[in-house]
């Protein structure tokens, strides 16, 4: 899915569709969202990602107007949403559960909102027709939701939101109920729809791959706060914290102390990992993230060894896990650390094989501590 990578920070001159300033939401004793700041550009596909209970849905519900912030400022297209009810905001929400009316046909489901608003009949017919065409469901107009597949129901739910021509589409785990194959297909359709419409999409998901492949930018949340906002590439290649590194994809987290001259992370076992220069001072405790696909593996009986890398160690294969296109290998270094290494599936190692492991200093991402424990 081709997309332009947008800078992670928003320029003061850029047009914003949604802005959250210091938003807090409490439910009794429970703080669901604590001091959230977000700036979402017009036309952006913005992903909100994080584990269960981190406050994603609460954030979306506040933008939609289903919940009011306890404190803070929320603006949509420059206007404060304080006291503005959901139906007066130019946003529409699509839920994982579709929320379709089973006793109404597809056509009536999509037309429902416009009928409530007492739209003139001719306009209504045109808009409903257009919305169904956008999601390729025009030939299903007379069917009832119970006669549709999960993917078709989700398309109707999208049409029902799009018929209102919102400035901002809110998507709460929209593909969560679909099986993997259909989910992948619907991801492409969502991306196409976003590109064709040019409106802002804000999507909540806990599927990291989905967020990476669809979003222009992603906010990773933890315990009601934002850990990092950035383009998919920044979030994956340059995670700021151990939480982000671990939550987005697989990684090896190594803990130790920074040393200069040369720049290394020295671990308690004595393992020295060469790293790129960092702003952290000599002796500072730090974690690094090393992605499994950045590590090279080579059998020890191989004539060439991967000496051209800054880091080069010996180890033994402990486990292998076949996942189809890849094989995950767990390698135990002679110093005792275990590293997860990703290999293409045509290269087969067996537990017990002696191997060289090697990686570049630039592939060691030095992490800041997480915002909360």
Positions that interact with ligand ATP (CB under 6 A): 27, 30, 32, 50, 52-58, 206
Q: How far is CA 346 from CA 17, 302, 318, 320, 325, in A?
A: 48, 17, 19, 13, 9
- Among residues 206 and 238, whose Cβ is nearest to ligand ATP? 206
Shortest Å distance, C-beta 220 to ligand ATP: 11
Min CB(30)–ligand ATP separation in Å? 5
User: What is the rounded CA–CA span in Å between residue 169 and residue 174?
Assistant: 11
Nearest residue (CB) to ligand ATP, 55 versus 145: 55
Q: Given the complex with ligand ATP, which of 164 and 370 has the nearer CB atom? A: 370
Smaller CB distance to ligand ATP: residue 54 or 134?
A: 54
Report the nearest approach of ligand ATP to the CB of residue 48 (Å). 8
Min CB(248)–ligand ATP separation in Å = 16
E strands, the chain, in order? 16-27, 30-41, 45-49, 71-76, 79-80, 91-95, 168-172, 200-205, 217-222, 225-230, 252-259, 264-266, 272-274, 285-290, 296-299, 311-322, 326-333, 338-344, 354-359, 365-367
Q: How far is the CB of 104 from ligand ATP (least distance, A)?
A: 27
CA angle 240, 241, 245 (to 5 degrees): 90
How far apart are the C-alpha atoms of 42 and 10, rounded to whole Å? 11
Q: Which of 29, 301 has the CB closer to ligand ATP?
A: 29
CB nearer ligand ATP, residue 30 or residue 179: 30
The DSSP line for 4-55 is PPPPSS--TTSPEEEEEEEEEEEETTEEEEEEEEEEEETT-EEEEE--TTSS
Smallest separation (angstroms) from ligand ATP to the CB of 171: 13
Cβ of residue 208: shortest distance to ligand ATP, in angstroms? 13
Beta carbon of residue 23, minimum distance to ligand ATP (angstroms, whole number): 12
Q: Cα dist. 244→24, 62, 206, 296 in Å? A: 22, 24, 13, 23
Taking the C-alpha atoms of residue 217 and residue 203, their distance in angstroms, rounded to an integer, is 11
Distance from C-alpha of 335 to C-alpha of 320, rounded to nearest angstrom = 20
Specify the residue, 25 or 356, whose C-beta has the smaller distance to ligand ATP.
25
Nearer to ligand ATP, 206 or 326 (CB): 206
Strand partners, 91: 168
């Amino acid at each position: 899915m081709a997309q332009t990578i947008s800078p992670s920070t928003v320029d003061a001159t850029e047009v914003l569709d949604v802005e959250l300033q210091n938003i807090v939401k409490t439910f009794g004793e429970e703080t669901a969202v604590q001091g959230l700041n977000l700036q979402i550009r017009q036309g952006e596909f913005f992903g909100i990602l994080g584990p269960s209970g981190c406050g994603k849905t609460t954030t979306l519900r506040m933008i939609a107007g289903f919940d009011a912030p306890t404190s803070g400022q929320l603006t949509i297209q420059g206007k404060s949403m304080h006291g503005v009810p959901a139906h007066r905001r130019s946003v529409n929400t699509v839920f994982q559960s579709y929320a379709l009316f089973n006793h109404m046909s597809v056509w009536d489901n999509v037309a429902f909102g416009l009928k409530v608003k007492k739209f003139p009949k001719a306009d209504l017919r045109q808009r409903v027709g257009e919305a169904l065409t956008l999601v390729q469901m025009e030939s299903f107009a007379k069917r009832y939701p119970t006669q549709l597949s999960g993917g078709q129901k989700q398309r109707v739910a999208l049409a029902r939101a799009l018929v209102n021509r919102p400035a901002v589409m809110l998507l709460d785990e929209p593909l969560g109920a679909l099986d993997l194959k259909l989910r992948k297909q619907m991801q492409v359709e969502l991306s196409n729809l976003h590109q064709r419409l040019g409106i802002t999409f804000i999507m909540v998901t806990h599927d990291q791959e989905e967020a990476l492949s669809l979003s222009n930018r992603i906010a990773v949340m933890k315990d009601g706060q934002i850990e990092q906002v950035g383009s998919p590439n920044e979030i994956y290649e340059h995670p700021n914290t151990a939480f982000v590194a671990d939550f987005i994809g697989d990684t090896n987290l190594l803990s130790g102390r920074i040393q200069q001259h040369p720049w290394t992370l020295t671990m308690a076992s004595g393992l020295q990992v060469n790293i790129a220069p960092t702003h952290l001072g000599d002796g500072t405790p730090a974690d690094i993230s090393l992605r499994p696909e950045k590590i090279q593996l080579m059998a020890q009986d191989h004539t060439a060894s991967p000496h051209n890398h800054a880091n080069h160690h010996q180890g033994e294969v402990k486990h292998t896990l076949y996942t189809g296109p890849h094989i995950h290998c767990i390698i135990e270094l002679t110093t005792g650390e275990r590293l997860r290494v990703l290999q293409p599936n045509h290269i087969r190692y067996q537990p017990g094989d002696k191997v060289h492991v090697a990686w570049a200093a630039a592939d060691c991402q030095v992490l800041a501590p997480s915002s909360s424990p």
